Structure formats: C-alpha cells, structure tokens
Amino acid sequence: MKIAVLPGDGIGTEIVAEAVKVLQALDLKFEMETALVGGAAYEAHGHPLPESTLKLAKEADAVLFGAVGDWKYDKLDRPLRPEQAILGLRKHLGLFANFRPAICYEQLVGASSLKPELIAGLDILIIRELTGDIYFGQPRGRRIATDGHFPGSEEAFDTMRYSRPEIERIAHVAFQAARKRKAAGSEGRVTSVDKNNVLETSQLWKDVMVEIGLQYTDIALDHMLVDNAAMQLVKAPKKFDVLVTGNMFGDILSDEASMLTGSIGMLPSASMNANNQGLFEPSHGSAPDIAGKGIANPLATILSAAMMLRFSLNQGAAADRIEAAVKSVLEQGLRTADIYSAGTTRVSTLEMGDAVVKALK
C-alpha cells in the first residue's frame, strides 16, 4: 500500500503529521513518501505542482493531502498559485467524485451555531462532481467586450459546461452511495441540486439524473434548486440523505454543511477516480492565520486517513478503529480550540493526535 503524503501549506504540515502518526500506530504495512505541494513547492521548485510530486501521486494507491494556499501568493499569475496544485491533482488523477460527509458527533452538538435539535444525529453525504463545470470549462479569460451591457470595456468570462457522460458517472456514484447507506439504515434518497430554471447545464444535469435514477428503483430521487438547497440545509438539514451536485454548487454547499457539524475542523473528504485511487484531505483550508501555533484541529485529517483506508486501501476494519478512537477522544472531553467549550479540556494539535493514538490501543 503506497501512500503519497502531501502536507502542503499553513496548518497542512501540522495536521498531516498527526494523521501519519495515527496511521503508523495501526500495525499495517504502508509505504509512505512525502513531497512538497502548493506554496511550499512553489518556493522550492517554482511550481505549486512539480512533475515529481504529480508522478508520486499518480503512482501511489492513495494521496493523503493537507491543505494549500496563503494570501502572500495572491498576486502570482494564476497557474503558479497554490490552489492550482489541488486543481491539477484532481484533473490529472481524474478525481471526479468528491465525498464530503457531514456528521454531527453527539459530543459536539453544542458547538454548532444551529439549535441542537436541528442537528443532533445529523449524518448526510454531499457528493460533489469535481473535474467539470465552471472550474475547468473552456474558454475562459479576459478580453474587450464586443457585445453585452458595456461593449468596448474589459470583461472576464468562464464557461460552465457538463457533458452527459460526466453527469452519468457522478449519478451512478451518488445512487450507489445511497444504496450503501440504505443498507446501513439510512433512508435511501438522492437529492440532486441544480439551477435548471436558469442554466442549460443544470437542465442536462437534471435530465440525466432522472434517466440514471430509473436504474435504481430502490432509491428515491428528488431535485432541488441550489438557492433553495442552501436554505433547506440550515432549515432542516436532517431531511437530506445523499445530496449530489456540480463542482461550483458543491463547493459552496459543502462549506455550508460543514458548519452544521460544529466545526469545519471535523470534516474529512475523499476524491475518487474510476480506479478507486483517491485523494483524501480535510474539507478545510490551510488557515494561515493559525499556522505554526499548534492549535489546529487534526481530526478532519485523521478522519480523512480513515476514509483512505476504507475507500482506496481496502482496510475497512482499520478505518472503523480510527473512527472509534476519534469518538473516544471526544467522549473524554478533549477539544482543540475550534470545538472548545466550557467544561471540556483544551488540547493542542499534537496532544489531540497523541490522544487518538492512545485510544486506538
């Protein structure tokens, strides 16, 4: 089992170190190799995703990723900015299916900004298409407008596009995930989110979802416009089971959903390609404002490592063990700053990692 470890920038190095520690405590045989990515790689090699890093990622069974980005790179040309590293990895590894579960742990019900009764027991799964849409659509750029509201003035444009096969494959991922969850006691429903009242891409999205849905008669399918979905997520989040949507809407809705759980510091994610090769990263960013202070929450990354074991490395039992250990440290009242509340014990990034290792034993 070969794992490419790409810590990246900001808190990335701190949280990935804790996840690696947890993996090493499992008594499984891993080959782990670390490489630079993002701003760190730009500093060392002049590019956020050097050839050597990409090669390592391609050859690995799975990639454990921290986070990339820092404000100090905002002025660089876009191809050199840290974010291009994660976009490049998604593109070159074909990681089209992004799983972002939002689970509210019982012990953290009070840490959410929503009323406890709205989120207690929350367990929903956002599936975001990750290699299409306005993120990657061509053409894009800047030019002088020849039409529109202000001909003759500078304009910028991006292209939102989706092809039928792109939608079909993410639809299958969503229905199959809903089926798995149903077997474990969930409702068995897919909510497809789009903006078909305005956008052609969304109309095709909806049409294809309906077609593929016919192959999954055991799973219910409903549709929601993205603005309404944003509202329903804070109004009645538990009504969702699997939410599937495009790249742009999924980016926004998954950040929104993360806050239902108390802290974005708790949310893992998996980005998968058709060969079960995956990239696993916390849903949060590099948080340069708290980098180097040892206060970041490593649990999202540790839970991402658990997803890696289950999704890419066929080690479901080890994944269960990590998840149980995370529950146990929360039960012990251990909290990093982002989830701290009166009456609990505040711990550092390192102490949290150590506590998970101890709970594993």
Specify the residue, 85 or 173, whose C-beta has the smaller distance to ligand IPM: 85
CB of 69 to ligand IPM, least distance (A): 6
Q: Which residue is nearest to ligand IPM (CB)?
A: 83
Binding mask of the shown chain, residues 232 to 271, with x at each position contacting Mn ion by CB under 5 A: -------------------x--------------------
* One residue of 83, 155, 168, 351 binding ligand IPM per CB under 6 A: 83
Q: DSSP code of 131?
A: S
- How far is the CA of 61 from the CAs of 194, 267, 272, 290, in angstroms? 33, 22, 11, 31
CB of 83 to ligand IPM, least distance (A): 4
- Where are the extended beta strands (E) located within the chain? 2-8, 31-34, 62-67, 97-103, 123-129, 141-144, 154-157, 189-194, 220-225, 242-245, 268-272, 278-282, 334-335, 345-346
**Strand order, beta sheet including 220-225:** 31-34, 2-8, 62-67, 278-282, 268-272, 97-103, 123-129, 242-245, 189-194, 220-225
Listed ranges 83-91, 182-190, 257-265, 351-359: which one lies at the site for ligand IPM (CB under 6 A): 83-91
Contact call for residue 158 and ligand IPM (CB under 6 A): no
Listed ranges 80-88, 221-229, 293-301, 315-323: which one lies at the site for ligand IPM (CB under 6 A): 80-88
Active-site positions?
A: 135, 195, 227, 251, 255
State the sign of the Cα–Cα–Cα–Cα dihedral 326, 329, 334, 339. Answer: positive
Could you give the CA distance from residue 177 to residue 125 in angstroms, rounded to a whole number?
9
CB of 247 to Mn ion, least distance (A): 10
Binding site for substrate, residues? 90, 100, 128, 227
DSSP-derived secondary structure for 319-331: HHHHHHHHHHHHH
CB of 326 to ligand IPM, least distance (A): 21
* Amino acid symbol at 54: L
Contact call for residue 251 and ligand IPM (CB under 6 A): yes
CB of 91 to ligand IPM, least distance (A): 12
Specify the residue, 230 or 360, whose C-beta has the smaller distance to Mn ion: 230
Nearest to 208, CA basis, from 132, 98, 311: 132
Contact call for residue 87 and ligand IPM (CB under 6 A): yes
Helical (H) or strand (E) element with 84: helix 83-93
Specify the residue, 86 or 329, whose C-beta has the smaller distance to ligand IPM: 86
Binding site, residues? 90, 100, 128, 227, 251, 255, 285-297
Binding site for NAD(+), residues? 285-297
Tokens for 124, please give them.
Answer: 């929903």
Tokens for 33, please give them.
Answer: 């190799």
Could you give the CA distance from residue 3 to residue 34 in angstroms, rounded to a whole number?
9
Contact call for residue 168 and Mn ion (CB under 5 A): no
Specify the residue, 213 or 265, whose C-beta has the smaller distance to Mn ion: 265
Specify the residue, 284 or 335, whose C-beta has the smaller distance to ligand IPM: 284
CB of 21 to ligand IPM, least distance (A): 24
Contact call for residue 199 and ligand IPM (CB under 6 A): no
Specify the residue, 65 or 216, whose C-beta has the smaller distance to ligand IPM: 65
Could you give the CA distance from residue 341 to residue 330 in angstroms, rounded to a whole number?
12
Q: DSSP code of 134?
A: G
Could you give the CA distance from residue 286 to residue 264 in angstroms, rounded to a whole number?
12
Contact 18, 325 (CB under 8 A): no
> How many chain residues bind Mn ion (CB under 5 A)?
1
Residues near ligand IPM (CB under 6 A): 83, 86-87, 251
Residues near Mn ion (CB under 5 A): 251
